Amino acid sequence: MRKELWDWKYQKLGEKVVSNLKRKKHDAYLVERKEGVIPLLKEIMKENSTVAVGGSLTLTECGVLDFLREGNFNFLDRYNVKSKEELEEIYYNMFRADYFLCSANAITEDGKIVQLDGNGTRVAPMIFGPKHVIIVAGMNKVVPDIESANKRIEYISPMNSKRLNFDTPCTYTGKCDDCMSPERICIHRVIVESGVRHPGRFKIILVKEDLGL
Ligand code: SF4
């Protein structure tokens, strides 16, 4: 019964968010489970295109990195580099990619996408450059409003810092200390308010289960 009720809740909430994202001129899709992400990407993405990704647990959980490595794409694989210089080259080449894939830190019920980034390599190409931005997000990312989005981000950031093994206070305490650490992961906060300038550039795939952090 519990599972059915969450399914029902996520269906209703997902429909509302997708409708509001479309109203804001994004393409938006609601899929049942993470197994539905790759088939949808196969429909959306053209073969032989250049593809880049931002850091994301969700993409890994959905098998997106393996799909890009095994598929017929020019994948700018940031996780498969031999030097710092090669990684930097990928960061700059991301701006010319056909597709940039990442997740979201939060999506408000009225269709705003909220991201908090450290060095900006996720938010910068999301804002400008790649022809298409594909965001894959679980329903745990959906929040009522911007205030809730900021609270959610503050709650999960220590886990991201721990995951990335950064030397910040929250990595040790599990709690945000609004630190001045050189490795602080909370630097650039971006809200995508609307897609009206470039309708359909953003494609948001909302998955009816919890994914990532
Ligand atoms: S501001 Fe610093 S302490 Fe707070 S979550 Fe970010 S990295 Fe952690």
Confirm or reject: Cβ of 153 under 6 Å from ligand 1. Answer: no
Contact yes or no for 103/59 (Cβ under 8 A): yes
What is the number of other CB atoms lying within 10 angstroms of the CB of residue 121?
A: 21
β-strand 113-117 against 142-143: which pairing, if any?
unpaired
Tell how far the Cα of 191 is from the centroid of ligand 1, in angstroms: 19
**Of 103, 91, 31, the residue nearest 61 (C-alpha):** 103
Residue type (1 letter), 127: I
At residue 147, the 3 state secondary structure works out as helix
Confirm or reject: Cβ of 169 under 6 Å from ligand 1. Answer: yes
**What pLDDT tens digit does each residue of the chain (213 aa) get?**
888 999 999 999 999 999 999 999 999 999 999 999 999 999 999 999 999 999 999 999 999 999 999 999 999 999 999 999 999 999 999 999 999 999 999 999 999 999 999 999 999 999 999 999 999 999 999 999 999 999 999 999 999 999 999 999 999 999 999 999 999 999 999 999 999 999 999 999 999 999 999
What is the number of other CB atoms lying within 10 angstroms of the CB of residue 29?
A: 20
Which option is the CATH number for 2-207: 3.40.50.10420, 1.10.3720.10, 3.40.50.2000, 3.40.50.2300? 3.40.50.10420
Tell how far the Cα of 29 is from the centroid of ligand 1, in angstroms: 32
Verdict on whether the full-model pTM lies above 0.85: yes
Contact yes or no for 56/73 (Cβ under 8 A): no
Contact yes or no for 153/203 (Cβ under 8 A): no
Confirm or reject: Cβ of 86 under 6 Å from ligand 1. Answer: no
Tell how far the Cα of 165 is from the centroid of ligand 1, in angstroms: 12
Confirm or reject: Cβ of 156 under 6 Å from ligand 1. Answer: no
The DSSP output letter for 31 is E
The full set of domain ranges for the chain reads 2-207
Confirm or reject: Cβ of 56 under 6 Å from ligand 1. Answer: no
Q: Tell me which residue has its CA closest to atom 2 in ligand 1.
A: 179
